Amino acid sequence: GENVEQHPSTLSVQEGDSAVIKCTYSDSASNYFPWYKQELGKRPQLIIDIRSNVGEKKDQRIAVTLNKTAKHFSLHITETQPEDSAVYFCAASNDYKLSFGAGTTVTVRA
Amino acid sequence: DTAVSQTPKYLVTQMGNDKSIKCEQNLGHDTMYWYKQDSKKFLKIMFSYNNKELIINETVPNRFSPKSPDKAHLNLHINSLELGDSAVYFCASSPHAASNTGELFFGEGSRLTVL
């Protein structure tokens, strides 16, 4: 089955700096890679996703890159703001099952 | 207008009891899921139903029994509760049948505490 590893587990950044979270996956058949954000006490919500035929996708201050050869993908948040503080989950799907990484707790320091 | 709603939001019970969590989605999606989030925040899929049929059943103890009376509802019944069952249980739905290449819409979660 798919195994998704996510690093780091915690990340503290100064407001205005960038944050990068990296994930690797094991199943070469995986073709869909979403990222979810979960604020404290709330539900996970999709913030961005990328499919296997695309190498990079950007949406305002967040971007995701995918390297299918190396089987890794990353989330980049630029100009971080206090409201970016949350747990971020990467995930990988092979059309059958979505497997989540263990999550990264991001804290943005004012 | 809540898209995916679950009840109850909080549940505190004694070991050995039986409890149920209900989930309903009004998005017209074909696929519904139960995820368990433990104290370390790890999100693990338990079950997935597509149009009332079970399609994913992870290695979950058979004390956990999902039931889907129709494609808008997926309930979770847990027998003989154990301390390790304490977690937040999230219901979710997605539009695509049998495929996970689409957004998951999560409910607000049900926090189960077993004493």
Residues of B whose CB is below 8 A from A45:
106
Closest CA to A63 of A47, A83, A44, A85: A47
The pLDDT value recorded for residue A10 is 98
- What residue in A sits closest to B110 (Cα-Cα)? A43
Cα separation, A89 vs B1, whole angstroms: 26
Residue A5 pLDDT class (50, 70, 90 cuts)? very high
Span B87-111, average pLDDT: 86
CB contact at 8 A, B104 and B91: no
Any CB–CB contact under 8 A between B2 and chain A? no
What is the percent of chain B with per-residue pLDDT over 90, rounded to a whole number? 72
Condensed to tens digits (0 to 9), the pLDDT of residues A22-55 reads 999 999 989 999 999 999 999 999 999 998 888 9
Q: For residue B41, give every residue at least 6 positions away whose Cβ sits within 8 Å of its Cβ, in sequence order, or none.
A: A38, A87, A102, A103, A105
Give alpha helix (H) positions in chain B.
none
Please give the mean pLDDT across all residues of chain A.
94
State the nearest Cα–Cα gap between B69 and chain A, in angstroms. 22
Q: For residue B16, how many other CB atoms are within 10 A of its CB?
A: 10
Structural contact between residues A92 and A99, judged by C-beta atoms closer than 8 angstroms: yes
Residue in B closest to A35 by C-alpha: B103
Give the pLDDT of residue B95. Answer: 85
In this predicted structure, what is the pLDDT of residue A94?
A: 79
